[in-house]
Structure 1
Amino acid sequence: MPRLVTERADVLPLLAEVFREHGYEGASLQLISQATGLGKGSLYHFFPGGKAEMAAAVLAEIDDWFERELYAPLRAAEDESVAAAIDAMFAAVDAYFRGGGRVCLVGALALGAARDRFGTAIASYFARWVGALADALQRTGCDTTTATALAEATVAGIQGALVLTRALDDPAVFRRTLQALRERLQPGNPADAGNAGNAGR
């Protein structure tokens, strides 16, 4: 039974799951109506711009969550607390993606035809994640090139682990990948100097 929806904010988590499961193109108004329990009139009351406005609102909510829980803490961490902020980032990622069981909607949209429609929001999500992590890594002593390469490899690794976890239906893949990425970002890890330069190639 669909949960009671009384405000626009109540609809967004339900819409996100429809887009995750069916993609932007496959998320018909019928599917959205079934998932939210709202008729077409109510949906357009909340989202006059139709499905495009629904997806944009979902992306904005995801962006707000990542800004609050990941990017801002990474940017705000002082030198001595950067390692803890990076650990907190991995914990937040694990929780948000439910141990690899939840599709990254932004990543999914980046691979589909909706990429052109939502390109700015998609690019911002990934660029700000890489940027915030790279800035934090520089405060641990990494040079700019190394920090950027490590940040790019980390975000790419998380995204790839989500795909592989889903393809193999094996949550252990996600856990192992997060652990390996976390270890690679530890200060003094030999991979920092030896492999970071090739991480983004």
Structure 2
Amino acid sequence: MKTLYERTDVVPLLAEIFRELGFEGATLSRITERTGIGKGSLYHFFPGGKEEMAAVVLADVDTWFEQFVYEPLRRDDPAEAIAAMWKNVDVYFRSGGRICLVGAFALDETRERFAAVINSYFQRWIDALADALVRSGRPAGEARAVAEDAVLGIQGALVLSRALDDKGLFKRALDQMAKRLSAT
């Protein structure tokens, strides 16, 4: 029995392939092998090829973060939104078991290809968190520095937990950052 896919079914599969292999390593042959979807079907869904696949995956990541992290930080009660950010980040990154695709793309030659998207992802996260911190009573300059430190800490915790193969490290790091952020 042949599995029928919709474009929306393929995006999460592609995301995991790009996370595992990177943009350059995710050749069309490897994508078809790992998804079980023929090249013709992939080109039907993504006429722009691998570049379009990566752009759609990045847009999907962006949509998730906009809905579950940035917008609540801008809109909701600051303390509740910040607490939800820690929880949602832990869920999204599977307690450190899933790398940040945007961060991974920022580290290799792919960065130039998707520079605007990568920059926007991190800037909007920092801006939204800084906004929540300002609304909670922090001075703007301090809020910005704390927000940058938090996003930096999350990204660093992802790398370290993967490097040490210690998923508990990511959760511990999030908990420590949350305590530090609420204490200052």
Give the TM-score of the pair, scaled to structure 1: 0.89
Say whether 1:45 aligns with 2:41.
no
User: Equivalents in 2 of 1:140, 1:31: separation in Å?
Assistant: 48
Secondary structure of 1:142's match? coil
Q: Identity rate of aligned residues, in percent?
A: 59
Structure 2 CA distance for partners of 1:5 and 1:158, relative to 1, 3 Å: farther
| Structure 1 unaligned residues grouped into runs of 5+ | 193-201
Q: Secondary structure at the match of 1:116?
A: helix
Q: Offset at 1:4?
A: 3.4
Counterpart for residue 128 of structure 1 = 124
Greater percentage in helix:
2
Q: Tell me the TM-score normalized by structure 2.
A: 0.97
Per the alignment, in what secondary structure is the counterpart of residue 48 of structure 2? Answer: coil
Partner of 1:199: none
Aligned CA RMSD, in angstroms, stands at: 1.1
Tell me the secondary structure at the aligned position of residue 153 of structure 1.
helix
2:68 is matched with which residue? Answer: 69
The question of whether the paired residues in 2 share the 8 Å contact of 1:161 and 1:177 is answered with yes
Structure 2 CA distance, aligned partners of 1:149 and 1:27? 36
Alpha-carbon deviation of 1:107? 0.3
Amino acid corresponding to residue 128 of structure 2 in structure 1: A
What is the count of residue pairs matched by the alignment?
183
Deviation at 1:176, TM superposition (A): 1.4
Q: Which amino acid aligns with 1:123?
A: N
Alpha-carbon shift at residue 5 of structure 1 (Å): 4.4
**Contact 1:15/1:35 (8 A) holds in 2:** no
- Aligned residue for 1:169, secondary structure, equals coil
Deviation at 1:27, TM superposition (A): 0.4
**Aligned counterparts, 1:1-201, within 5 A:** 4-77=3-76, 81-186=77-182, 189=183, 192=184
CA distance in 1, matches of 2:27, 2:60: 21
Judge conservation of contact 1:33–1:39 (CA < 8 Å) in 2. yes
Distance 2:168 2:12 in 1: 26
**Distance (whole Å) between structure 1 residues aligned to residue 30 and residue 177 of structure 2:** 37
CA offset at residue 44 of structure 1? 0.6
In structure 1, distance between residues paired with 2:82 and 2:181:
8
Runs ≥4 in structure 1, deviation > 4 angstroms? Answer: none
State the SS of the aligned residue for 1:109: helix
The AA in structure 2 aligned to 1:75 is: R
Alignment gaps of 5+ in structure 2: none
Query: After alignment, is 27-36 or 46-55 more displaced?
Result: 27-36
Alpha-carbon distance, 1:84 to partner: 1.2
Q: Distance in 1 between matches of 2:3 and 2:162?
A: 30
8 Å Cα contact 1:5-1:11 kept in structure 2:
no
Q: Is the 8 A contact 1:5 1:36 kept in 2?
A: no
Residues 100 and 174, structure 1, Cα contact 8 Å, conserved in 2: yes
